[in-house]
Structure 1
Amino acid sequence: MTKKRGYHHGNLRQALVDAALSLIEEKGPTGFSLSEAAKTAGVTPAAVYRHFEGREDLIAEIARQGYEVFADLLDYAYETGQPSALASFEAVGRAYLAFARKYPGHYVAMFESGISVQRTPDLYQVATRALGVMEQAAVNLSEHIPAENRPPPQMVSAHIWAMSHGVVELFARGSPGTKSPFPPEDLLETGIGIYLRGLGLIPQDK
């Protein structure tokens, strides 16, 4: 007889999240069913609906948990990178790459599942906190620039986020045919430096 994966009483919701995470890593966010998640967790399909309305609801919870870790990592990276503005942004970039590598299931649920960050108030709140780390960094960097010439912090953070995401997708996840002669961390750090210098947010190299 096949032994079902057990779970402690009261932890079925998290057991389903963990089961779905493993399936997302294996098959992607749309490659599994709720029945498969239930089977992997060792429960009946009917048990899933006591905690989640459907697969998207389950993926949204995975994304929320991922953003919690993501926001904490970015915040810690930025704080430990100070007092150098460039070092802080580079630390945030390294944290982004590290998160994508260490939490691939969460990363996919957050950025590749099609789940809106506005799906639930809790998901939106923690996703906003993660983006807020980079927005605050942009605010701090641009304080020395006259207000009329100051770039919007939302634009700066969005550009850095897009750059980080692009490096992850192209070079940090082992995608076929996208091998780079440089480490992903080096690509991102130099890109961030060029971008910030171009905006006048950090001094030009001597």
Structure 2
Amino acid sequence: MCSVSTCVVLYKKANLRLSRHMQKPSYHHGNLKAALLSVALDHVRQYGADKVSLRALARDLGVSQTAPYRHFADKDALLAELAAEGFNLLAHALQPATQTAQQDPIQAMEQAGVSYVNFALTHPEHYRLMFGSAHFHEKCFPGLDRTTEQSYDAILQIIEAGISQGVFRNTATELLALSAWSTVHGLASLLIDGLIDQSCVDDKEQLMKAIANTLMQGILTHPA
């Protein structure tokens, strides 16, 4: 049987081991950045972009208040990273359409429109950050600028293919691209914000194709 002092020492050691075992998981260099982005996206979903704070993210992840600053200079830098992530996802979603642009630019344009709206419906938090009024849009983030251009270039490639083949009107490429983007962006925004009565939309896919077809009538050389 142990003495009182020995029992106290053993108890303290056992308690120390238990407390270490029950500590929140630490995020080592290499995965903290990904964890911050993931939790930040949850905060955008729940509270809106304006309410995101690096302190709150650190608290939720169980890391020090200064830990997030090893990866992001401030909240705007983190939100810009999320927006860039969204533009990468959008570019990936548009890729199948751009790959068919030379074979059939009309089908490619319709496919791009449907893919764009589907992206917005699948990733509404990313979408709102990409095109919202968050303050980070007023700053310069090279990574964000680069990914934004990649997404827009996908639409330009389809327009250029259609013009070169004589199926799209031979007018300013940028103007046609802006017309296409405005149409699909407007529909996407209305859908994710719930401004279109869902009871009137039995088939979103058919709605998107119908609107894409209406858009095509405005840019085709010989509309139907």
| 1:129 paired to 2:138 | no
Q: Could you state the TM-score of these two structures normalised by the residue count of structure 1?
A: 0.84
Q: How does 1:1-206 map to 2 (within 5 A)?
A: 4=24, 6-80=26-100, 83-114=103-134, 115-116=136-137, 119-145=140-166, 150-171=170-191, 173=192, 175=194, 178-179=197-198, 181-182=200-201, 183-201=203-221, 203-205=222-224
Offset, 1:40 = 2.5
Q: Hey, what's the Cα distance between the residues in 2 that align with 1:46 and 1:32?
A: 16
Unaligned regions of 5+ residues in structure 2, if any? 1-18
Q: Hey, what's the Cα distance between the residues in 1 that align with 2:25 and 2:195?
A: 34
Let me know the Cα RMSD of the aligned residues: 2.8
Q: Name the SS of the counterpart of 1:142 in structure 2.
A: helix
Q: What amino acid maps onto 1:190 in structure 2?
A: A
Q: Hey, what's the Cα distance between the residues in 2 that align with 1:26 and 1:9?
A: 27
Percent of paired sites with the same residue: 27
Q: Tell me if the contact between 1:167 and 1:184 (Cα under 8 Å) persists in the aligned partners.
A: no
Greater helix fraction, Structure 1 or Structure 2: 2
Q: Tell me if the contact between 1:4 and 1:42 (Cα under 8 Å) persists in the aligned partners.
A: yes
Q: Hey, what's the Cα distance between the residues in 2 that align with 1:128 and 1:160?
A: 16
Query: Structure 1 residues 27, 113: closer, same or farther in 2, change over 3 A?
Result: farther
Higher mean C-alpha displacement, 65-74 vs 38-47: 38-47
Unaligned regions of 5+ residues in structure 1, if any? none
Larger radius of gyration: 2
Q: Hey, what's the Cα distance between the residues in 1 that align with 2:196 and 2:215?
A: 26
Query: Structure 1 residues 110, 3: closer, same or farther in 2, change over 3 A?
Result: farther
Q: Hey, what's the Cα distance between the residues in 2 that align with 1:44 and 1:12?
A: 11
Q: What amino acid maps onto 1:122 in structure 2?
A: G
Q: Hey, what's the Cα distance between the residues in 1 that align with 2:147 and 2:121?
A: 20
Q: What amino acid maps onto 1:91 in structure 2?
A: Q
Q: Name the SS of the counterpart of 2:200 in structure 1.
A: coil
Higher mean C-alpha displacement, 91-100 vs 125-134: 91-100
Offset, 1:94 = 1.8
> How many corresponding residue pairs?
202
Query: Structure 1 residues 5, 63: closer, same or farther in 2, change over 3 A?
Result: farther
Higher mean C-alpha displacement, 25-34 vs 125-134: 25-34
Q: Tell me if the contact between 2:55 and 2:65 (Cα under 8 Å) persists in the aligned partners.
A: yes
Q: What amino acid maps onto 1:204 in structure 2?
A: P
